[in-house]
Structures are given as structure tokens and as C-alpha cells.
């Protein structure tokens, strides 16, 4: 019996020591230490031995059991330390710092502008990026053959739709659904068929504004734009309006802010090119033809509207020289804001 027990023990210990992972080790534990293990079978027979042999045999079997258990314990510890078990936990290691997210620079600017306009009583309106020609062009007084469509070439969808080239579409969508007075802004993404370079992208962002009521005048437009400039670029910011053309406003203007970088004092300023003015966007008094398209009476109501490109403002603000950075989602860029 001694020999049999020794054989059982050395086989079990060898197998346990060779176990590659915890699962195998557990199988070996059941096989060599479980109720049906060879050692237990031998132990079960001890009772049938002559009484004189029983104590010694019991001792031998007990020692073998201990040795196998020890081999098992040692191996279990070794596997844990090798980190193979998943339950190994070293509480002395420094913790992993969670990645903290933050808003994209354009989202931050949007939030800020939304705040400024909400402070002046504007609501936020939304419209679809996949639009139809009517809302993107016709209703904005830009019929099929209008030359202003040339600068707004875009991506046409398989049905009659297109990707909107401007957030001015939301002016129409809001006026179609809501009677005046109206005071809304609408931030959102726009698309144009541009060749992508440092200052052009086929996808970009605008904020549109529309204010319609009885007696709205150019002075309201001026005051609104000026208040925005002061809050976003600084209290001493001034605005200037230059005549321009947009099909859906009459008169139309482009507006510039004084250069917040050099204040007109640096002839080689890369932002204002030494002029002291930075061009921001377009605006004007809503063309009566647009009111007619949405069923407003142009004799009773007047309105002003404005639109601006967000990338341009963010680039000026942060000194960013390549518009492509906004859409590349490179954390080395976005983490800086
Ligand atoms: N939608 C124009 C553009 O993308 C910008 C614009 C000009 C918006 C005049 C307006 C406006 O609301 O009144 O070029």
C-alpha cells in the first residue's frame, strides 16, 4: 500500500505543479483531493486492513493528502502572483486616472453665443441638415436661375433633397410654423461643395439669427450685433457695417468687428491684416419677398436677420490657422481648449 500511495502522491503533485491556469488547477483539485480521488479510494480500504496495520497506513495516507494539498496551495499562490487569475489585486498600485472629457471648441463657442443671445431674449430653433431646395434657396428668394446659388454648390441627395448650405433655412421653417413676433437663433452644421484647404471645408457651422416684429429697424440689428461683439470679443469692440448683397435681405450688409488681437495697432497682424477690422458675417433687413413666401404681411411686420460662421470666430479667438483641425477629432488639438 505504501508504494501505491507514493505513486498516487507523486503523480498528483507533478500534475498540479504543471497546471497552466486556475481552471486546470481546479480540475486537478477535484481529481486528486475530491471524494472520488484515488487517494480517497485507498483511504476507504484502510478499514479492511488488519487492525495492526491501520494506524501506520492511515498516517501514510494522511501525509500524502497533506503533500497534495500543499502542492495545490503553492500552485494556486504562484498562479495568482503571475496575475493569471484576474482576482489578483495589488492595492498598493497607483489608481488609473479616468479620462476627463470636455466640450469641443466649437461646442464651447456655440454655448457661449447661445448664452449671449438668450440674454437678449432669443429662443433656440433647430432645422434639418438634410433639406429641400425650397427651404435652402427658393423660399429665401433665391430662385433656380439666381447667380447667388453658384457660391452655394452642395451635395445633392438621391431624392430631391440636399445638404443645407446655410442655417438661413431655419428662418423659413420657423416662420412657416409660428406667427410673429419671432426672436430666434439657430446654431447648426452646414455643407458646401468646397475643395478642402486651410480655410475651406465641406462641413462647417453657423449661427443664424432672426428677429421679426412690428417696427423692427436696422438700429435693432446694429444693437444686437454690437452687444454680441462686446460680450464675445471684449467691451471695447466696435462694429462696422459694409453694404453687401444677400437675396433674402434688403438692405444687406457684412459686418466687421475691431480686431481683438492687435486693436488696429499692428500693420502685420495675421488676423486683421493690419486693417484693424475682422470680417465676421452677413446680415440685413428681411426682404419683403421672404415674408410673402411664409405668409407674413410685409406691410405690418419688419425683421432683421444675421448669420455667422463659427469656425471663423473660433479661429480668430484661438489663433487657429487650419479649419480642418475642427473636424479631425485629434485629441492633441481638442484637448487644448
Ligand atoms: N446665410 C448667409 C451665408 O451663409 C449668411 C447670412 C447673411 C445670414 C445675411 C443671414 C443674413 O441671416 O441676413 O452666407
Domain ranges of the chain: 2-87, 105-334
Q: Is the pLDDT of residue 7 over 70?
A: yes
- Res. 250 pLDDT band, cuts 50 70 90: very high
Q: Is pLDDT of 212 > 80?
A: yes
Count of CB atoms within 10 A of residue 136's CB? Answer: 23
Sign of CA dihedral 212, 218, 224, 225: positive
249 lines ligand 1 (CB under 6 A): yes
Q: Is 303 in the pocket of ligand 1 (CB under 6 A)?
A: no
Nearest alpha-carbon partner for 186 in 127, 134, 253, 105: 127
What are the angstrom distances between the C-alpha of 6 and each of 2, 11, 58? 6, 9, 13
pLDDT at 64: 87
pLDDT at position 94 over 70: yes
Question: Please, what's the b/e burial string for 104-123 (b: 16 or more CB within 10 A of its CB; e: otherwise)?
Answer: bbbeebbeebbebbeeeebe
Q: Is the CB of 166 under 6 A from ligand 1?
A: yes
Q: Tell whether the model's pLDDT for residue 62 goes beyond 60.
A: yes
Q: Is the pLDDT of residue 88 over 90?
A: no
Query: What's the 291 CA to ligand 1 centre distance in angstroms?
Result: 16
Query: How remote is the CA of residue 168 from the centroid of ligand 1, in Å?
Result: 6
CA–centroid distance, residue 107 to ligand 1 (Å):
20
> Of all residues in the chain, what percent carry a pLDDT higher than 90?
53
Q: What confidence score (pLDDT) does residue 71 get? A: 86
Q: pLDDT band at 87, cuts 50/70/90? A: low
Rounded average pLDDT over 19-28: 87
In this model, does residue 318 exceed pLDDT 60? Answer: yes
Mean pLDDT of 221-244: 93
What are the residues facing 306 on neighbouring strands? Answer: 209, 283
With cell 484647404, the residue in question is 197
pLDDT over 70 percentage in the chain: 98
Task: Assess whether pLDDT exceeds 90 at residue 105.
Answer: yes
Q: How far is the CA of 307 from the centre of ligand 1 (A)?
A: 4
pLDDT, the chain, mean: 91
Q: For residue 72, is pLDDT > 60?
A: yes
Q: Which three cell numbers stand for residue 34?
A: 475530491
* C-alpha grid cell, residue 312: 471663423
pLDDT tier for residue 12 given thresholds of 50, 70 and 90: confident
What average pLDDT score do residues 60-65 get? Answer: 87
Ligand 1 proximity of 224 Cβ (cutoff 6 Å) = no
Q: What pLDDT score was predicted for residue 37? A: 87
pLDDT of residue 86: 55
Determine the pLDDT at residue 40. Answer: 86
Cα gap 324→204, rounded to integer Å = 10
DSSP code, position 21: S
Q: How far away, in angstroms, is 295 Cα from ligand 1 center?
A: 21
Inter-axis angle of helices 54-81 and 38-45, nearest 10: 160
Cell numbers for 176, please give them.
412657416
Higher pLDDT, 89 or 138: 138
For 119-148, the DSSP string reads HTTPEE----SEEEHHHHTGGGT--TT-GG
Q: Is 168 in the pocket of ligand 1 (CB under 6 A)?
A: yes
- The Å distance, Cα 169 to ligand 1 centre, comes to 10
**Cα torsion for 167, 168, 174, 180, to the nearest 10°?**
140
Give the closest residue (by CA) to ligand 1 atom 13.
283
Give me the torsion for CA of 42, 46, 50, 54, rounded to 10°. 120
Non-local (6+) Cβ contacts of 2 within 8 A are: 60
Residue nearest to atom 9 of ligand 1 (CA): 283
* Domain 105-334 -> CATH class: alpha beta
Q: What is the pLDDT, as a whole number, of residue 83?
A: 67
Helix/strand/coil percent split, the chain, to 5: 45, 20, 35
Looking at the predicted structure, is the pLDDT value of residue 244 above 90?
A: yes
Count CB atoms within 10 A of the CB of residue 144.
Answer: 8
Amino acid at each position: 500500500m505504501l508504494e501505491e500511495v507514493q505513486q498516487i502522491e507523486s503523480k498528483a503533485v507533478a500534475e498540479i505543479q504543471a497546471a497552466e491556469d486556475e481552471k486546470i488547477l481546479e480540475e486537478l483539485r477535484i481529481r486528486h483531493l475530491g471524494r472520488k480521488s484515488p487517494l480517497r479510494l485507498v483511504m476507504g480500504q484502510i478499514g479492511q486492513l488488519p487492525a495492526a496495520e491501520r494506524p501506520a497506513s492511515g498516517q501514510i495516507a494522511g501525509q500524502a493528502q497533506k503533500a497534495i494539498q500543499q502542492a495545490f496551495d503553492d500552485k494556486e499562490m504562484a498562479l495568482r502572483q503571475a496575475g493569471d487569475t484576474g482576482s489578483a489585486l495589488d492595492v498598493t498600485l497607483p489608481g488609473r486616472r479616468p479620462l476627463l472629457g470636455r466640450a469641443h471648441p466649437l461646442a464651447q463657442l456655440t454655448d457661449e453665443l447661445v448664452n449671449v443671445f438668450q440674454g437678449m431674449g432669443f429662443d433656440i430653433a433647430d432645422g434639418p441638415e438634410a433639406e429641400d431646395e425650397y427651404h435652402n434657396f427658393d423660399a429665401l428668394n433665391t430662385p433656380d436661375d439666381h447667380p447667388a446659388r453658384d457660391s452655394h454648390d452642395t451635395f445633392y441627395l438621391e431624392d430631391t433633397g440636399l445638404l443645407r448650405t446655410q442655417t438661413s433655412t431655419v428662418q423659413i421653417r420657423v416662420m412657416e410654423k409660428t406667427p410673429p413676433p419671432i426672436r430666434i437663433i439657430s446654431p447648426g452644421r452646414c455643407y458646401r461643395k468646397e475643395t478642402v484647404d486651410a480655410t475651406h471645408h465641406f462641413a462647417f457651422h453657423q449661427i443664424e439669427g432672426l428677429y421679426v416684429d412690428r417696427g423692427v429697424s436696422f438700429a435693432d440689428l446694429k444693437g444686437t450685433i454690437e452687444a454680441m461683439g462686446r460680450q464675445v470679443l471684449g467691451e471695447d469692440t466696435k462694429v462696422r457695417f459694409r453694404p453687401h448683397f444677400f437675396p433674402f435681405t434688403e438692405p444687406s450688409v457684412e459686418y466687421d468687428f475691431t480686431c481683438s488681437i492687435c486693436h488696429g495697432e499692428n500693420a502685420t497682424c495675421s488676423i486683421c491684416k493690419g486693417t484693424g477690422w475682422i470680417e465676421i458675417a452677413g446680415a440685413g433687413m428681411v426682404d419683403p419677398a421672404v415674408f410673402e413666401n411664409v405668409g407674413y404681411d410685409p406691410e405690418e411686420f419688419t425683421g432683421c436677420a444675421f448669420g455667422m460662421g463659427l469656425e471663423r470666430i473660433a479661429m480668430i479667438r484661438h489663433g487657429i490657422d487650419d479649419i480642418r483641425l475642427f473636424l479631425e477629432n485629434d485629441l492633441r488639438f481638442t484637448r487644448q481648449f
